[in-house]
């Protein structure tokens, strides 16, 4: 009797946020979705992209997980619940914003996603 194929788990908002966290930890930027090694703007899906803004990390995470950009609404809502006011690009690009602040808001969203998943 042939083995039954395991059904692939659908990515969750927690998967999106964890992927965003990993990307942002490696490299964060402002005023563009993604940058390459030389600091120049690159497409968010480019293999040359090594740093991302908050929205760029979300888009790259969604793409990596095989989701559409519209699937990012839940992640964005959790980010707002954690203090992101208004548009996430405006929040990311605020003068004097730090990578640590961006990582903290993503960490908060991950914590909330874990709590929601446990319900």
pLDDT of residue 9: 83
pTM, two decimal places: 0.91
Residue count (the chain): 119
Measured CA distances, 42 to 6, 103, 116 (Å): 37, 22, 35
pLDDT tens column, 48-89: 999 999 999 999 999 999 999 989 999 999 999 999 999 999
pLDDT of residue 98: 98
pLDDT of residue 48: 98
Interatomic CA distance for residues 43 and 27, integer angstroms:
15
């Amino acid at each position: 009797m042939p083995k039954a194929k395991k059904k692939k788990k659908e990515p969750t908002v927690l998967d999106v946020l964890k992927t965003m966290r990993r990307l942002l930890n490696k490299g964060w930027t402002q005023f563009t979705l993604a940058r390459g090694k030389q600091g120049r703007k690159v497409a968010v899906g480019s293999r040359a992209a090594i740093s991302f803004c908050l929205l760029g990390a979300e888009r790259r995470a969604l793409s990596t997980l095989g989701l559409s950009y519209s699937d990012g609404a839940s992640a964005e809502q959790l980010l707002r619940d954690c203090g992101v006011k208004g548009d996430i690009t405006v929040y990311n690009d605020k003068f004097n914003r730090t990578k640590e602040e961006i990582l903290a808001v993503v960490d908060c969203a991950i914590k909330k996603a874990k709590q929601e998943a446990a319900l």
